[in-house]
Each structure stands twice: as structure tokens, then as C-alpha cells.
A and B are shown apart, each in its own frame.
Chain A
Amino acid sequence: MNPSGFLSSGIQRIMRIASITKGEAQQDEKKTIRMLSQWMLPFMFLLWIIFLSFASPVFLTWGNLFNVTRQIAVIGILSVTQLLCILTGNIDLSVGAFVGLFGALLAGLSIKLGFPLAFLICVLIALLWGFTNGFLVTRGEGISVIVTLSTMYVARGITLLFTEGHPIVNFPMPFEFLGARNLGPVPYNLITFAIVLAVVFVILRYTPLGRHLYAVGGNKQAAKVCGINTKKLTIGIFMTSSMLVALGSVILLGRVASAQPTAGTGMEMDSMATVLIGGASMSGGRGGVISTLIGVFMLGFINNGLNLLGISGYWQYVFKGSIILVAVMVDLLKNRK
């Protein structure tokens, strides 16, 4: 490059910097806030890990880490489900109760009808369940909380009626291996979770459908004017959700070898916590599979840490509730205009 060219391009650059307006400065500030809030929770988590590794001698042992990892599959799959709902600006509070309902129905009906027929019926019920949730949610704006809170009660009630409050045991369970066995050193439940993660990751990142999901969450009106059928998409999400929850339920059945009437209790809160810790936005449109996976591990290590420190299980409620609140507040900070 000749010197005069160099000079003039330098001048141009300076002029450009000088012309940065107040608006652009505000944009920069916004970006900084976004960056800070994005890394705040992971940073706190890192502090927690460091603290634990000093406070508890067993924390950083392979045995303990493996223990945490093998417990994350069910809540992990439910978190992916919740991620899809939250991304599109909804929430599914019925996931936990439906884990219980699906497990009870599958176990109970398997005893009466044999596994294959029972499985078929339960899958159809799950699809119908998802469709009902989705259909009701699309009747109005922002009603997913109350709709799925109601269906959560319905599911829990039916489960208790069906099981008469007792666990169901001794049922045929060909998929027991999903919850209870390993492929070599790796538990099948982790493999299943990994497959779910990978599929959803690819869909969200690399397919038109993924773009549409983010668009619906970011600006539903914009998605509509671009020809996206937002209602169909939402119903599809809730049906996918119920199928994944059913998968989680099968893994749980295999692991504990009994259908507990209270199975899945609190998992709606856990799945919400992991997605929000992972930086998703309650108002939709932001979040991803990787950050949700980080959220799943974070919640796993928080529970594990509290156990190792011998802190009462009751405190876990306080912690989880607080974490969700912090995550929501951070989210608001991110969205600040």
C-alpha cells in the first residue's frame, strides 16, 4: 500500500471513530451489561465449585463426579423440554406431574394388558396430553403458566387416583436397561440424554425450524408476518415436550423399578432452574442446548454440594427458589433498554 493511501485510510478511520454517536455508545454499554450478566452465574458457579473442593474432601473424587453425572439424565431431558417451551415464550409446569402420570399408567397397564399394548396406549396418551397443553396455551397470550399449572394438578390427581397412593411394583419393563444398565462403562440413560441433546442442538442451530422457534420467542408478531404458523409450532413443541417427558419417565421407572405416585415432584421447578441458570430468557427467544447443559450440571453440583456439606434437604428448596429468582433478575437486567 502506498503511503498516501495508508494516510487517507488512517484519516478515514479516525473520522469514523470521531463520528461515533451517543447512540452507539449506549449500544456498547448494552453489550457490556449483556456480557456481564451472561457470565455472572457461571462465575458464581465456579466459586461454588472451588469452595466445595476445599470444604469437602470427597467432592473432587471420580466417584462423586460420576455419581452426579449419572443422576442428571432425567432432569436433563426434562430441561431440554423446558428449554423448547421457554424459547418459544411459554412454560410447561406439568412436566414433573406428567413424569409421575406416565410412569404410573405404563406400570399399571403393563401388569393388566402386557407391556406392548400398555406402551402404545401410554404413548398415545402422551401425544394427546401434549396436544391438549399446546392447544389450550395457544388460545390466549401468556396463559401457559396457568394452563400447565392446572394440567399439572390434573395429572397429579389422576396419578394418585390410579395408584391409590401406593407405588406400583413388579411390572414387565423391557426398557429397564435405559434406567438401570450400562453400555460398557457408560449408563444407557446418559447415552439417551446425549442423543436428545445432540438432536435438539442440531435442530436449534442448523434447521429452519430452529430459526422459527427463536423467532417466535423473540417476536411472535414478526414470526407471523413471515408466514410462520405460530400456533402449529407451539402445539408441536408441547407434543414434543410430552414425548420427551415420557422418555424421562421410562428412564426413571427403569432406575427405581417402581412407579411412585409422587414421582417427578418438583421437576418442573428443577427444569426451569437449569434453563434459567443457563441464561435463557423467561420472555422467550434466548437460550441454547449447551447453556442448558451447563445449567443442568450447575444444579446437579449445587444439590450434590449441599448433600456433601450435610445441609438439610429443606435448604435445597430455599436455594433453588433463590437461584431462579436471581436468574430472572439477571434476565431483566439483560433486557433493560
Chain B
Amino acid sequence: MLSGDYLLEMRDIHKSFGAVRAVQSVDLVLGRGEILGLLGDNAAGKSTLMKILTAFHKPDRGKIYVEGQEVHIHTPGDARRLGIEMIYQDFSLAPNLSIADNIFLGRELTKDFLGMRFIDRKRMEEKAKSAMSVTNIRLDSVKTIVTDLSGGQRQAVAIARATAFDAKVIIMDEPTASLSVKTIPPLLDLMVHLRDQGISMIFISHRIQDVFSTCDRVMVLRRGKCVGVAYTQDTTVDEVTSLIAGTQKTFGKNAQHFNPVGLEEYDA
């Protein structure tokens, strides 16, 4: 169960775009080796909240802690160095580069020659191969250019990129939205597999069933505000659906024993 010793904490996060209050006073905590489902209607603020973690947006207010230490994430590179990886809906791959080059983009393995750093292709390709093997997707070669890959294969590359560097947190923003249905179960299996290896994940999806089958906890956002957090085992798909739609204000008694905010303990 969740202890006070969180891997990641976002406290009192605010973000507005002009008059649109995309995220208002949201607290999010993530334990070690857990999958948190982040749910909410369109425009609830899920992506905005996550993009604050990767420095895509700068929060108007709020603090972020990793392993209890306050961190300042100013660039996507900062997020990566903290072990926070995001898998984007479009996978964010360079289509003109090979699988190996994509996996190592921005953190290429190099060897020195005459005082200059050159790419160590051989080592990158070897490591890319082993990173790809995590995903159980069969590929002829890690030298293949990403343009020539299918959607599922591209996602595998994105996952390999996220897992190849000792990630602590992997954020998946609607990873199944652009995939064919048959590729979803392997992805969910993979998520559970990674979780069992100690990687924490935040999973955004409209498929509530998928969320229930993988996530340890769920957090529901509505119009930029957090309306509830609960252990999946303590709630039901119906209840979560009502929360998302706004027909129920917050989680019922069964799920209430999880204190979503925890600010009091934190400040004490």
C-alpha cells in the first residue's frame, strides 16, 4: 500500500491558458512500482498535468518532488535525467532515423577519437536490440528506418526508448488511441511486466476497462480539478464513470479511506 515515501509528488499544481483553467490545485502522488490510472473527460486537464512533468508546460504554481526532493523541471532533458519518461500519443519518433538512433536520440553512446566524441553505432545497435526485446515485438533489424514501421512497431520503439535508461516513471498518454485493438492486450501485459520490475507508471486512457485491469489506483480529473483518488479494488467501473461524467461528486464510502490530498501529513 501507498506509504508516505512517494516516488513522485505534484503538489498544488495550477496551470491556465488565458481564461482556460486547465489544471487547478491538483495533487498527485505516485508510489514505487505502482500504476496510477489518470482518468477524465476530454479537456479535463490530464495531458496538461502530465506535460508539466516533462517541461512541455510551465506550471503557474505548484511544486514537484522526486523521491522526496523538490525538483525544477525546465527542459525535457531535465525530466529525462530525473528518470521521468513520457510516451506520447504520436510516439514522437523521428521517422527518418533508424530504430537505434531514435532510442538513443539525445543520449547517444559515444566513443572518443582524437579528443572528439563520435557515435558508437555498434554498441547503440546492440543495446537497442536488447531494449526492443523487452517489448516482445519482432523486428528484422534495429537499423530499420521508422517510416517503414507499423503503428504497433512504432509504439514498441517508443516504449523501448522510455525503458532503455533506467526510467523511474513512465507516463503513457492514451497509448492505445491510435492502435488497432489487437495490439492492446500485449501492451497492457507489458505495463504490468514493467511495473513488476519496479517501474512506476501513469496511464491515461479512455478505456476504463484497460485501466481497471492494469492500475493499482485511479485518479479522476474533472474540469481541471481532482475529484477523487481510490484504489481500483475499492471502486467500480460504474462509479468511476459517474465521477468522470460528474453525476457523482466523489468516491463513495468504500473508497474513502484513501486520502487523496495528504497535504496535512505532508506539511507536518
- A interface list, Cβ under 8 A from B: 23, 27, 30-31, 206-208, 210-212, 214-215, 217-219, 221-229, 285-286
Contacts and interface: CB of A to CB of B under 8 A. Distances in A.
Contact of A285 (B80, B95, B106, B119): B95
B155 to A, nearest CB: 14
Interface stretch (B85-93, B186-194, B230-238): B85-93
A41 to B, nearest CB: 19
A278 to B, nearest CB: 15
Contacts of B77: 227
Given A206-B119, A211-B119, A227-B75, A222 B94 contact: yes
Interface residues of B, number: 30
A215 B104 CA distance: 11
A210 B117 CA distance: 12
A228 B92 contact: no
B170 to A, nearest CB: 13
B94 A219 contact: yes
Interface string B82-111: 000010101011111100011011111010
Interface of B: 54, 56, 75-77, 80, 86, 88, 90, 92-97, 101-102, 104-108, 110, 116-119, 147-148, 150
B117 A225 contact: no
B97 A27 contact: no
Nearest to B147: A30
A23 B110 CA distance: 36
A225 B148 contact: no
B151 to A, nearest CB: 9
Contact of B76 (A217, A227, A286): A227
Contacts of B86: 225
Given A211-B101, A226-B76, A228-B106, A286 B96 contact: yes
27 contacts: A31-B148, A207-B117, A208-B108, A211-B101, A211-B104, A211-B108, A211-B119, A214-B97, A215-B94, A215-B96, A215-B101, A215-B105, A217-B96, A218-B97, A219-B93, A222-B92, A222-B105, A223-B94, A223-B105, A224-B76, A226-B106, A227-B77, A227-B80, A228-B105, A228-B106, A229-B75, A285-B94
Contacts of B150: 23, 27
Nearest to B101: A211
A211 B97 contact: yes
Given A208-B117, A215-B105, A225 B92 contact: yes
Contacts of A223: 94, 105-106
B119 A207 contact: yes
Nearest 9 A-B pairs (CB), nearest first?
A227-B77, A226-B106, A218-B96, A218-B94, A285-B96, A208-B108, A215-B94, A222-B92, A226-B105
B96 A212 contact: no
B118 A207 contact: yes
B189 to A, nearest CB: 21
Q: Which residue among B54, B75, B105 has the maximum number of chain A CB atoms within 10 Å of its CB?
A: B105
B118 A206 contact: yes
Contacts of B80: 226-227
A84 to B, nearest CB: 15
Q: Which residue among A207, A210, A223, A225 has the maximum number of chain B CB atoms within 10 Å of its CB?
A: A225
B118 A215 contact: no
A223 B116 CA distance: 22
A212 to B, nearest CB: 7
A227 B86 CA distance: 12
B105 A211 contact: yes
B119 A208 contact: yes
Contacts of A30: 147-148
Nearest to B161: A226
B179 to A, nearest CB: 13
Contacts of B105: 211-212, 215, 222-223, 226, 228
A10 to B, nearest CB: 19
Contact of A208 (B76, B96, B110): B110
B92 A218 contact: no
Nearest to B79: A227
Contacts of B92: 219, 221-222, 225-226
Contacts of B117: 207-208
B182 to A, nearest CB: 11
Nearest to A211: B101
A315 B110 CA distance: 50
A225 B102 CA distance: 11
A225 B76 contact: yes
A23 B86 CA distance: 27
Q: Which residue among B92, B96, B107 has the maximum number of chain A CB atoms within 10 Å of its CB?
A: B96
B54 A225 contact: yes
B94 A225 contact: no
A51 to B, nearest CB: 34
A275 to B, nearest CB: 15
B233 to A, nearest CB: 34
Contacts of B108: 208, 211
B75 A222 contact: no
A202 to B, nearest CB: 8
Contacts of A221: 90, 92
Contacts of B102: 222
A128 B110 CA distance: 32
Given A208-B110, A226-B80, 8 more contacts: A27-B148, A210-B119, A212-B105, A215-B96, A219-B92, A222-B92, A225-B86, A285-B95
B193 to A, nearest CB: 24
A206 B119 CA distance: 5
Contacts of B76: 224-227
